[in-house]
Amino acid sequence: MRIGFIGDVVGRPGRDMINSYLRKLKEEFNIDFVIANTENASHGFGLSIKNANELFGMGIDVMTGGNHTWDRKDIIGVLDILPILRPYNLPLGVVGRGSLVVEVNGSKLGIINLMGHFSMPMCDNPFIKAKEAVTFVKEQGAEAVFIDFHAESTSEKAALFAMLKGEISAIVGTHTHIGTDDLKIDGGTLFLSDIGLSGCRDGVIGVDKEAPLNRFLTGLPFAFEIPKDCKKIFQMAVFEIQGGYCTDAFKIKIYDDKPRVITKALCE
């Protein structure tokens, strides 16, 4: 199976880039299944039902979330219905699912959404819950396992990879909106600290620069805004899974005004 994973989709600019490129890329690279982190897809905060349906219509199959999952209240009622995940390691009783097993080309893929501890809302230990989640999806027949680890700290992401290397197919980080350059396959497991945002690339983490700058200069709260006009980027990791192991991977970056960049994964 060949999987595509898109990082934090930020507002309308991110949705527009997906609408412009995803269908073409799926056909060009024979991508069987697409997962995307969409917790910032609705004006930078949360995911509305309207935008969720819009993104499903663009070719996304499963959506993951994080600390902004709850920002749009209308989505809460469908978290148990639509293929939209929230972090697995939230406290017991929180609405929604943190994992899902789907069939892709006759094989079962387990998808897990985790949230880190550092600088994030209250959640259970992601390392302990990761082991539980992997066991859970494998008991449901998942041969391949993918984790979206939504975390601030690269050390948390690297440590989770070290713990699960050889046991899962892929772990890709989200949340920082800043793409990293450490795409690799080791022990049959793909790792990337952060896929990076899809959306505006000329502000600060996808939003207009004025509010973040004022926050840093004054320490006071200012509302983040998504620019109506900006330079945009689309970022997606594409990886091949055979027998539960990742055998090939690359990252695609598409700029709205420059040639696209494709980076192959380092194979250890």
DSSP code of 67? T
**Rg for the chain, CA atoms, rounded:** 17
| Phi–psi pair at 73, nearest 5 degrees | -70, -25
Indicate if 68 belongs to the active site.
Answer: yes
CA-wise closest residue to 65 among 93, 100, 103, 101: 100
Residue 49 burial (CB < 10 Å; 0-12/13-18/19+)? middle
CA-wise closest residue to 121 among 90, 88, 160: 90
Residue 48 burial (CB < 10 Å; 0-12/13-18/19+)? middle
Catalytic residue among 68, 150, 175, 177: 68
Which residues fall within 8 angstroms of residue 250, CB to CB, at 6 or more apart? Answer: 183, 237, 238, 239, 262, 263, 264, 265
CA distance 81 to 95: 11
| Residues classed as catalytic | 68
